[in-house]
Structure 1
Amino acid sequence: MKQIILLCFVTQLLWAQSTPVQSTVQQVTVFLNGAQITRSAKISLPIGKSELVFKGISPQINKQSIQVKSEGNFTILSVAHQLGNLLDKTQQDEITKIETQKRQIEDKLNLEKTHLLLFKREEDMLLKNQVVGGQQSGMKVADLKESIDYQRQRMQEVLLKKLELEKNIQKLENDTKNLNQQLTEINAKKDVQMSEIIVSVLAKEAVSNTPVSIAYFVKNAGWTPTYDFRVEKLNQPINISYKANVFQYSGEDWKDVKLTLSTANPYKSGTAPVLQKWVFGQPNDYSDYYENINANPYESPSEVQGKVISKTDKQPVPGVLVQLKNTNLGTSTDMNGNYKLSIPPNLALHQKVLVFSAVGMKSAEATIISTHINITLNEDVQKLEEVVVTGYAKVASDKITAPPPYLQGRIAGVSISRESEQRTVPLDITENNAPTSQSFEILIPYTVPSDGKVYTAEIKQENIPAVFEHFVVPKIDTDVFLYAHIIDWEKYKFLEGEASLFVENTFLGKSNLNLSNRDTLSLSFGRDKNVIVNRTKLKSYQKKQFIGSSKIEQFSYEIVARNTKNESINLLIEDQFPTSANKEVSIDDKEAPEAEINTETGKIKWRINLAPNKEHKVFLKYTIKSPKSGLVVDTSY
């Protein structure tokens, strides 16, 4: 007897029972590229060896990333991965149920059509009887009247019954159409490849209703940071809204999940470069490092960057929309025409194309075959003459003056379009700091379908102190630009991303937040028409003298700045003295009272605190000594 019991126990250990597991996505950590998904389920196991089959898993799963956890009293023997389809037993049962309903409806439909045919024939008979009765002679008037009344009443009953049967038939046909649609949707999933995770376990005693979780990494998901920078008053901090554009097309929907956004990028190699011995005259080549910088177990995605210029004037084009073809993923060029875009891994071939589009320019496409793609756009004369309004007002964007050299890592204030003001409430989050990254844990359930669309979530707002400064180069452009300088910006842990600029709830445009290794981050909020600057050449100071073989010319300029605002401003005015590369030409008698002068470059800076409704004047003058036979051209305008 003991031998029989032992034999049965050994048989149970050797025989693996396959058990489908119904699991749901509970938690998702979205990285800048890719995401880690955690599913949970409850299982019951008999004594012995069993196979747990988790279905409906993304086909973009990385097999090496699978983790299985449970506190149940059983041993995990192995974890395997294979491709399956979306249909499971529940869906197969649904197909059977729908087909049964279709047969029942078909029987009712045939019966109703038979009844309808009978009533149509009766209608024909009644019509014929009317003709026959009308042709009979010698029929009494009372009998004729009774016959007509009967035929009229019966005809009414037949027609009403026909109408009822036709309505029933129409309803049954619609029901059949709806069931066919359901079958089409379910059967379409037969060809959709999904993953299955098979977990082999061994239980020495029965296990009941024990929680188990599986975690795995998927491709075709990620998030990009975006910002709203808002200025209300010059004496108040900047309000910054930190947002996240989340996307995924992994193949499985995330419904009401616990969502965490991480600034980590699993695709970026964590291996630091190593300097190799460099022999002068031989190549100092580190191309292998750059080629493998994205190498990792999850197969590297790509990041593409480049510059967009105009074919007409060879100048950078700001505000160009750079988009992955057939997706909602994209960015726009900054003031200098530069762009940078993260490309999700394993895109379909038709999506590995960048589309460049801008107002007044012909769109262009470029296949992604390199990490650096420059593009030249042609003007579209027809589009320049035709203005199309699509739900919002387009405003003309003036040419932006080149920024001062000392302002680096700023946002360019490029006016692209006027948008309606929309303020949102940040989600409840918990912010955590890891040794090499930062994460934002959203505390309310969140849903992101697998449709490739971008879903924007505002994760936090901060008021950051800033120093405001107005800047103008009146020699080039008399418009005054407003800048906000943020000191020690690194502690706010910004990431590069798209930014929207607002001043007093007025949308100024979009640009990219380009970060550089500087102590101060400067943001340009565009032109301030409330500060007026003019630069005038003073004729009374202009003189021309001839001494010997030399010619001496004097130049003088007045710059007038007026503040029409109701608050004081800090104004930086830049100008320049000419410099000489010819020993026969000298620049002398240089004067610029109250200004900082760079003797090497000739640049001049006035820093002025300008009170409300006040104006301030500054001057510069210089002389140019050159050979009498030569020609000195005033190019200071």
Structure 2
Amino acid sequence: MLLRTLSCLCLLSGVCLAAQAQEEKKAAIKEVTVFLKGAELRSESKVKLPEGESEIVFTNVAGNINEKSLNVGADNGAVVQSATFRNNYLKDNGPTPRAKQIEDSIIYLSDKRNLLQNEITAIDEQINVIRNNRKVSTEEKGISTEELKKLLSLVRTDMKNLLDEKTKTNDSIMKLNTRINLLANQLREENNRDDDPAGQITVKFYCKKATTSNIVIKYVVPTAGWIPSYDLRVPHINAPVQLAYKAHVYQNSGVDWNKVKLTLSAGNPSEGAQAPKLNPWHLGFYRHTPVSYSQPVYNQQTSDYTNTAQAGAIIGNVLDNNGEPIINSVVQAIQGGIVKNGTVSDFDGNYILKPLSPGRYDLKTSYVGYKENITTGVIVNSDKHTAVNIRLQPTDHRLEEVVVRDYKVPLIDKYSTGTGRTITSDEIDAMPTRNTRSVASTAPGVYDGLNIGGARGDGTMYIVDGIQVYGARGINPSQGSNAYDNTMGNYVATENRGVNTTFDIELPYTIPGDGKQINVAVKSAELLASYRYYAVPKMDKDAFLQAQITGWEELDLLPAQTNIFYEGTYVGQGYIDVRNVKDTMNLSLGRDKKIVVTRDRDFTMRSVKTIGSNMKESFVYKINVRNTRSEDIELVLTDQIPVSYYKSINVDDVEYQEAEYNKDSGELLWTLNVEPYKTSTRTFGFTVKYPKRSNINL
């Protein structure tokens, strides 16, 4: 038994000596290329290498890298023989700088609280002395009534002062306790982030002679990405549209990117580079065959081959309270307070989290402008897809009415906020959003074929004793969205590399590895635009001012959300999908109450006839457009004639006054020029023949 124990001790000692013999070197992250999903990290380290073979362990490595993407290079005659990645579960890096800063603040506030508690103890002792002295004085014989009054007055004054001081001190202690608890919660969140195992890369070198070599390490992590967005500002009618291109960058790699050179790429390595190939389509009778899940499948998120018989997934969609999909909402699978996997919803609101080890998870869904949703106790089984559909509720923020006014000077100025209520960028990010697929171009922020939504962003930053308790946007609130000005163009270089567009950000950025989004200004530009009014009275009684933008194709835009400002006032948010927009982009700038549009059916022209087994009914509609402004306006007016897909339902006798008529869709379109304080009228009509005792949607 003793011999066995000694053998084990010798073996452990050998392992420890071998571990100590390995030289460790911190890999400093210098450059990061962030894709729409995923990021490539580039680290550099200068090391001294002896003659012959040597081995160095590089730390400060993400714990979830794609091992197939690992690439290590060396110069000055050093040869890389091998590079191996592994997770280090035993490595204790101690608290992060942010956690250490929070701990120092907690200690400082705790010491301050202890001093106040000492003051409370001293006050209590003084109160006891006054009480005891009062008892002795009143028991003395021969004390006069006047002396007793003076004594009671003195006791009252001293006692009141001490009690007031005690109350104020207790209030200060309560405030300190609140601040300490707030910091303690933030410290727990910071420490939970560090529960994920750290990564390390062991590299074997060979050198013919001793040398100093610059080691470059590159690898890809899946838990990072960026989401594009735009601010579109119209100072006044007839002015160019000012566009600010922004990126919301996030990463949850477990290592902070401190002052790195950032490159944003429109590529997405997770989509794969292999073009699809069609195989012969053989027809036959369908027979249900159970699917085998035992075949190992390579997964890019875990950078490993995962047996799908052991891994599960969570799938579903994210909708608003109107049942419309929410794009780019963040969905995270959390287990034990640690984010195990995360993704963003696609254009249809769908998401998938995979692979996930079997177990119980909490599903956290967030999209700024909506209330955060947490679904607890989601069970993931092996080789199963657990379906969880999510509905987000908007926050209770509302916009004031937007009124179009005439101004002779531009109102876009950081010291002048224009008419109406000024809304800062942080307020915009807290407003509710929705994403409809109907009535395009009839609401603020809607483009042709696109949808209206509310604003989004990153939330609010709180600072307690110099500590960021939540997240930071780094934008001066007094500037709002104007913080992204033209000077950023001096620090961003746009380059088309093959099939992908990249934006090289010259200013260094720090992106923490906690998954929170950081706003990065990409570039800004001015776009030529013409302006007109647009109305669909069947759907909405208001007229909308539109900007028709040209030249946007040269800006390498991506599908993204947009915040829209008109005359210094926020009017709404839209979504632009550049894949569907034509040469001219129509941007809605809000409702103009000075353009009055009415649409009514003229029942004096109504007739209903019975023809055999059919009914024939006539319809006539009258549309009035009144311009109460002091200048001419151009207005595009649209309506429709019904279209029948049934032989038993016929639409005939179509009449339309000077309109462009599309027979396939039934759309009517008028382009009107209405003089000041005048009314323009358009009428259209049709007859419908349909079977008796049939209910049709007229």
Provide the TM-score with structure 1 as the length reference: 0.64
Match of 2:232 in 1: 229
Instruction: Give the whole-Å Cα distance in 2 for the aligned partners of 1:401 and 1:216.
Output: 40
Match of 1:479 in 2: 542
| Matching residue's letter, 2:481 | Q
2:622 matches 1:558 = yes
2:365 matches 1:355 = yes
Segment drifting more, 215-224 vs 409-418: 409-418
2:561 matches 1:498 = yes
How many aligned residue pairs are there?
A: 510
2:331 matches 1:324 = yes
Match of 1:440 in 2: 503
| Matching residue's letter, 1:402 | S
- In structure 1, which of residues 425, 444, 459 is the aligned counterpart of residue 484 of structure 2? 425
Match of 2:319 in 1: 308
Coordinate RMSD, CA, aligned? 5.3
Distance 1:443 1:435, change over 3 A: same
2:338 matches 1:274 = no
- In structure 2, which of residues 570, 579, 597 is the aligned counterpart of residue 533 of structure 1? 597
Distance 1:273 1:294, change over 3 A: farther
Match of 1:577 in 2: 641
Match of 2:672 in 1: 608
Structure 1 position 587, deviation (Å): 5.0
Instruction: Give the whole-Å Cα distance in 2 for the aligned partners of 1:25 and 1:573.
Output: 57
Structure 1 position 457, deviation (Å): 0.7
Instruction: Give the whole-Å Cα distance in 2 for the aligned partners of 1:553 and 1:415.
Output: 42
Instruction: Give the whole-Å Cα distance in 2 for the aligned partners of 1:424 and 1:75.
Output: 48
- In structure 2, which of residues 51, 56, 59 is the aligned counterpart of residue 55 of structure 1? 59
Structure 1 position 71, deviation (Å): 2.3
Match of 1:620 in 2: 684
Instruction: Give the whole-Å Cα distance in 2 for the aligned partners of 1:189 and 1:296.
Output: 18
Match of 1:402 in 2: 438
- Partner SS, residue 474 of structure 1: coil
Instruction: Give the whole-Å Cα distance in 2 for the aligned partners of 1:578 and 1:199.
Output: 72
- Partner SS, residue 68 of structure 2: helix
Q: Are the aligned partners of 2:635 and 2:673 in contact in 1 as well (CA < 8 Å)?
A: yes
CA-to-aligned-CA distance 1:193-223 (integer Å, 9 cap, x gap): 3222222222222324x43222222232221
CA-to-aligned-CA distance 1:562-614 (integer Å, 9 cap, x gap): 34456654422222334567878765543221111233554322122345554
Segments of structure 2 that go 5 or more residues without pairing to the other structure are: 1-19, 97-183, 307-312, 398-425, 460-476
| Matching residue's letter, 2:201 | I
| Matching residue's letter, 1:28 | V
CA-to-aligned-CA distance 1:516-560 (integer Å, 9 cap, x gap): 445345444454434321113345545678999998765433211
Counterpart mapping for 1:148-297 below 5 A: 193-208=197-212, 210-280=213-283
Q: Are the aligned partners of 2:227 and 2:249 in contact in 1 as well (CA < 8 Å)?
A: yes
Instruction: Give the whole-Å Cα distance in 2 for the aligned partners of 1:451 and 1:62.
Output: 19
Q: Are the aligned partners of 1:308 and 1:374 in contact in 2 as well (CA < 8 Å)?
A: no
CA-to-aligned-CA distance 1:438-462 (integer Å, 9 cap, x gap): 1111111111111211101111112
Instruction: Give the whole-Å Cα distance in 1 for the aligned partners of 2:190 and 2:374.
Output: 39
- In structure 2, which of residues 485, 504, 513 is the aligned counterpart of residue 450 of structure 1? 513
Higher Rg of the two aligned structures = 1
Structure 1 position 490, deviation (Å): 4.7
| Matching residue's letter, 2:272 | S
Instruction: Give the whole-Å Cα distance in 1 for the aligned partners of 2:387 and 2:230.
Output: 26
Instruction: Give the whole-Å Cα distance in 2 for the aligned partners of 1:436 and 1:414.
Output: 30
Structure 1 position 26, deviation (Å): 1.2
Segments of structure 1 that go 5 or more residues without pairing to the other structure are: 1-15, 92-180, 385-390
- Partner SS, residue 423 of structure 1: helix
Match of 1:413 in 2: 452
- Partner SS, residue 349 of structure 2: strand
2:524 matches 1:461 = yes
Q: Are the aligned partners of 1:20 and 1:55 in contact in 2 as well (CA < 8 Å)?
A: yes
Q: Are the aligned partners of 1:410 and 1:524 in contact in 2 as well (CA < 8 Å)?
A: no
Distance 1:355 1:451, change over 3 A: closer
Q: Are the aligned partners of 1:317 and 1:333 in contact in 2 as well (CA < 8 Å)?
A: no
- In structure 2, which of residues 69, 72, 84 is the aligned counterpart of residue 65 of structure 1? 69
Match of 1:83 in 2: 87
CA-to-aligned-CA distance 1:64-112 (integer Å, 9 cap, x gap): 3222223213332222233335447999xxxxxxxxxxxxxxxxxxxxx
Q: Are the aligned partners of 1:469 and 1:483 in contact in 2 as well (CA < 8 Å)?
A: yes
Match of 2:113 in 1: none
Segment drifting more, 409-418 vs 247-256: 409-418
Instruction: Give the whole-Å Cα distance in 1 for the aligned partners of 2:624 and 2:671.
Output: 13
Instruction: Give the whole-Å Cα distance in 2 for the aligned partners of 1:429 and 1:203.
Output: 40
Distance 1:452 1:527, change over 3 A: same
Q: Are the aligned partners of 1:46 and 1:203 in contact in 2 as well (CA < 8 Å)?
A: yes
Instruction: Give the whole-Å Cα distance in 2 for the aligned partners of 1:222 and 1:482.
Output: 35
| Matching residue's letter, 1:60 | N
Distance 1:43 1:348, change over 3 A: farther
CA-to-aligned-CA distance 1:393-434 (integer Å, 9 cap, x gap): 998999979325999864423456999843223541121211
Provide the TM-score with structure 2 as the length reference: 0.59
Q: Are the aligned partners of 1:572 and 1:607 in contact in 2 as well (CA < 8 Å)?
A: yes
| Matching residue's letter, 1:424 | A
Distance 1:254 1:630, change over 3 A: closer
Structure 1 position 225, deviation (Å): 1.2
- Partner SS, residue 604 of structure 1: strand
Match of 1:96 in 2: none
Q: Are the aligned partners of 1:58 and 1:252 in contact in 2 as well (CA < 8 Å)?
A: yes
Q: Are the aligned partners of 2:234 and 2:241 in contact in 1 as well (CA < 8 Å)?
A: yes
